[in-house]
Amino acid sequence: MGMFDEIVIPKSYLRGILDKKDESLFNTYHKFQTKDIEPVFGGGLELYKLYRGYLRKQVGNEPGAQSKNIKWEKTDLTKEVSMYDTFTTKDGNECWFEFEFVFVNGKLDSKRLVDKNTVSKADTEAVEVMWDIEQNIFNEYRKKLSYRFWTKVERFCQKLSVMAHKKHSIPYDIRKTAYKTSGRLEKDPKCLDMYVDS
């Protein structure tokens, strides 16, 4: 699904915030993506689930472990957690849903639908046709000599700009000495992190 944590929400927790038609689009145990949990508990790419009103985190499992051997532990999270998913329905429609669940000491406190958008298959196909027409016109223009010439000039100038930046950038060792002497390095040990590769 991506580089973020995932959270499994039973469909029963979506009742009352979705109409029956929208509710039917979701799996019994639907997996959403979230960016909101990882900064609190660390790690990233973790799996959580809402079970019996509490948010639980999957712990200590080897990849491919049998579902009966998966261990879950309650969290004590107190936070608003946004979760979302994009999927295609059986009819070919593209759907986007975003929810916000509020947890207090790991227990679900409130929930709400934040955003919902459905694009029909016909609308998606119409946009693709428009895109193809536009790209054909753009590609004809891109064949012109002047377009190709100025594209090469732009690339050359970008290379010069990168080279010039490297030539006048303050070297890491000098920056480290300055930060150490001023006391910044002691107050903020991570202040040099963004300059490691420069």
pLDDT tens-digit map of 40-70: 555 568 899 999 999 999 987 665 555 667 8
| Residue 1, pLDDT score | 42
Amino acid at 2: G
Dist CA 50 CA 37 (whole Å): 13
Dist CA 176 CA 173 (whole Å): 5
Count other Cβ atoms within 10 Å, centred on residue 51.
Answer: 14
Pairing of strands 79-88, 94-104: antiparallel
Contact 109, 103 (CB under 8 A): yes
179 pLDDT band (50/70/90 cuts)?
Answer: very high
Residue 170 DSSP label: P
pTM of the model: 0.61
Residue partners of 82: CB distance under 8 A and separation at least 6: 34, 35, 36, 98, 99, 100, 114
With a cut of 50, say whether residue 173 has pLDDT above it.
yes
Contact 6, 56 (CB under 8 A): no
The average confidence (pLDDT) of the chain is 89
As a whole number, mean pLDDT of residues 17-38 equals 90
Percent of the chain with pLDDT over 70: 90
197 pLDDT band (50/70/90 cuts)?
Answer: confident
Contact 32, 47 (CB under 8 A): no
With a cut of 90, say whether residue 39 has pLDDT above it.
no
Dist CA 94 CA 86 (whole Å): 7
